[in-house]
């Protein structure tokens, strides 16, 4: 008596899966995302440059005589951006390993993957902008925009974060042209997410002033270990998938039917 095989997990992500998820519309329309970035840009610059000029009393009451608010905002937004990126990478790996089919479900995981990516990028954008208001490092627009130009503070490690930011842009915008890109090009772009995550992890560890704090160090170790584990699962699933396509090889599901 034949049995209906249970859906196999950890199988390679192929063009059939890509076509299935390509029909899932981005949770945030492109126009809304760009408008949100513009709002962050205008709001941050207004708070940094216009508020002290026209409302110095308000600025003094908010920031104090030795303002550290911009530095604290930069650190906190950077940590949030890192955690959102971790969630995005982990969800992406769960999708490609097909583990997301069990929970929270393929389409839901795709929505969460896209949303955490876009939100993480927005926090990273704010993280960079708010550093313009820090009086200790005194970043300029040029130093914010150009990698390794921050001569006043750990230029190499800061530069890695800047490179990661720019590399993330094509990966993010591939959400909006996924159908047009096709599976191979889309997959090639998404491999860049591993580079982005690696660079940002190094940036967070070596450019952050409070990295040695036990809670932060624990966060970096745990998140890095989880990404490594899910990546290993993906590699093994790819190897297993190639073996299953060898002529004469039968999958466990096929064997169970006999």
Residue of 178, 189, 191 whose CA lies nearest to 23: 178
Structure tokens at 135: 């009086």
Long-range contacts of 102-110 (CB under 8 A, 24+ apart): 102/9, 106/20, 106/21, 107/21, 107/24, 110/21, 110/24
Q: What is the pLDDT of residue 61?
A: 59
Rounded to 5 degrees, φ, ψ at 103 are -160, 135
Phi, psi of 212 (to 5 degrees): -75, -5
CA distance 37 to 123: 10
Q: Please report, for the chain, the start and end positions of each structural domain, with discontinuous segments joined by +.
A: 27-49+67-240
- Give the pLDDT score at 6: 42
pLDDT computed for residue 156 by the predictor: 95
Give the closest residue to 69 by CA, choosing from 79, 78, 59, 56: 59
Provide block-wise average pLDDT over 10 residues at a time, the chain (258 residues).
47 56 78 96 88 68 65 92 96 84 78 94 96 85 92 92 96 88 84 94 91 92 95 83 55 47
pTM over 0.85: no
Contact 127, 78 (CB under 8 A): yes
Q: How far, in Å, CA of 178 to CA of 25, rounded?
A: 10
């Amino acid at each position: 008596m034949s049995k209906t095989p249970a859906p196999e997990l950890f199988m390679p992500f192929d063009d059939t899966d890509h076509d299935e998820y390509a029909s899932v519309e981005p949770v945030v329309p492109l126009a809304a995302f760009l408008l949100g970035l513009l709002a962050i840009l205008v709001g941050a610059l207004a708070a940094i440059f216009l508020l002290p000029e026209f409302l110095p009393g308000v600025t003094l009451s908010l920031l104090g005589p030795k303002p550290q608010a911009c530095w604290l905002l930069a650190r906190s937004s950077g940590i949030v951006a890192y955690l959102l990126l971790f969630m995005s990478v982990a969800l992406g790996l769960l999708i490609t390993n097909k583990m997301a089919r069990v929970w929270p479900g393929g389409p839901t995981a795709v929505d969460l993957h896209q949303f955490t990516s876009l939100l993480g990028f927005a926090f990273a954008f704010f993280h960079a902008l708010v550093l313009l208001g820090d009086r200790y490092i005194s970043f300029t627009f040029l130093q914010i925009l150009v990698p390794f130009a921050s001569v006043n503070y750990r230029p190499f490690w800061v530069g890695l974060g800047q490179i990661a930011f720019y590399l993330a842009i094509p990966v993010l915008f591939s959400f909006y042209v996924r159908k047009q890109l096709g599976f191979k090009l889309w997959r090639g772009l998404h491999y860049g997410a591993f580079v982005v995550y690696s660079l940002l992890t190094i940036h967070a560890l070596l450019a952050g002033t409070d990295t040695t704090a036990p809670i932060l160090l624990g966060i970096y170790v745990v998140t890095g270990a989880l990404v490594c584990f899910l990546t290993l699962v993906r590699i093994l699933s790819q190897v297993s998938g190639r073996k299953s396509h060898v002529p004469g090889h039968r999958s466990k599901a096929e064997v169970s039917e006999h």
